[in-house]
Amino acid sequence: MGKLDGRVAVITGGGRGIGAAVARCFAAEGASVLVNDLGAPMEGGGTDAGPAQEVAAEISRAGGKAISDGTDVTDFDAVQRMIQRAVDEFGRLDILVNVAGIIRDGMIFKMEEAQWDAVIDVHLKGTFNTVRHASAYWREHRGGQYRIINFVSGSGLYGSPTQPNYAAAKMGIVGLTFSCANSLNGYGVTSNCIAPIAFTRMTESLQGKATVMDYSPDNPRISAENVVPPVLYLAMEQSDWINGRVIESGNGKIGLFSNPEMTRQIMTDGLWDDDVAITEMETVFREAIHQPNPFAKPKS
């Protein structure tokens, strides 16, 4: 018996990297999958039907159920047709996994408008588009165990200095996920994020570089497959208790992030005196900020 028998999933960015690993796993566990992928280059701006078709064909050859789809997730109306296609083809929709992504790195002071817009468009608008149309379907078909699983990044959670567009888009997705966790749970939907770490074309430039991770194609710990177990779990019916959370997965680790919470407060009964507020912030807040940030450079 498969862990996802009878369930139907749409996986964006399913033609390569982590999305392809998710699609293969879900199909092997009995899900019917729509493998979406535009076949874009890493910086976006091109199409190739091949990657999605190859993953869907591979799943079919292995005895699973899959169709390929080349929809651009930035296209609101086309995404509506894609969601409808999954329902028409497989009779229902249970799981939406938003993996599609591009990067166009650059320092904030040199970033061009087109770099910003393209990355926000694929990640944040693309995730809005799929969630918007899938949730409308779920609202009309209550009583299921529905799942939204959005891919985010340590780049946003820790603040990668060379990826302001990508970091902003990914943290936008975190906010969208938190909102959906509260608005859609009554319709049977849970919404969670995965922050992955894997050797794919997106990270292959880190191969051989002095990072804390060993980015190499033959390291099983950092393979795309090793990201998938918590994605599988979040897609299963028995994960209905977890909602509005961010899980890091990769390099042999599965970690639960804390959600934002207030750690210190200072209060006044009336109008603040500026000097009192400043003094209290320096004494009360400063001692609370001790988290190591992997991107922070030591002060010279």
Ligand X SMILES: NC(=O)c1ccc[n+]([C@@H]2O[C@H](COP(=O)([O-])OP(=O)(O)OC[C@H]3O[C@@H](n4cnc5c(N)ncnc54)[C@H](O)[C@@H]3O)[C@@H](O)[C@H]2O)c1
Binding positions for ligand X, rule: CB under 6 A: 12-13, 15-19, 36-40, 42, 44, 51, 72-74, 99-102, 122, 126, 151, 153, 196-198, 200-203
Q: Measured from the CB of residue 40, what is the shortest distance to ligand X in angstroms? A: 4
> Which is catalytic among the residues 155, 170, 191, 249?
170
Our CB check for ligand X shows the closer of 8 and 122 to be: 122
Q: Measured from the CB of residue 263, what is the shortest distance to ligand X in angstroms? A: 26
Q: Which residues pair with 35 in a beta bridge?
A: 11, 68
Q: Determine whether 170 is an active site residue.
A: yes
Our CB check for ligand X shows the closer of 42 and 285 to be: 42
Q: Measured from the CB of residue 42, what is the shortest distance to ligand X in angstroms? A: 5
Tell me the residue nearest to ligand X as measured from the CB: 17
Asked if 29 contacts 91 with a C-beta cutoff of 8 angstroms, the reply is no
Q: Measured from the CB of residue 96, what is the shortest distance to ligand X in angstroms? A: 13
Q: Determine whether 110 is an active site residue.
A: no
> Which is catalytic among the residues 153, 191, 223, 249?
153
Cα separations in angstroms, 73 against 76, 82, 185, 282, 285: 7, 9, 24, 45, 42
Our CB check for ligand X shows the closer of 69 and 94 to be: 69
> Which is catalytic among the residues 32, 155, 160, 166?
166
Q: Measured from the CB of residue 196, what is the shortest distance to ligand X in angstroms? A: 5
Our CB check for ligand X shows the closer of 44 and 172 to be: 44
Q: Determine whether 249 is an active site residue.
A: no
Catalytic residues: 153, 166, 170
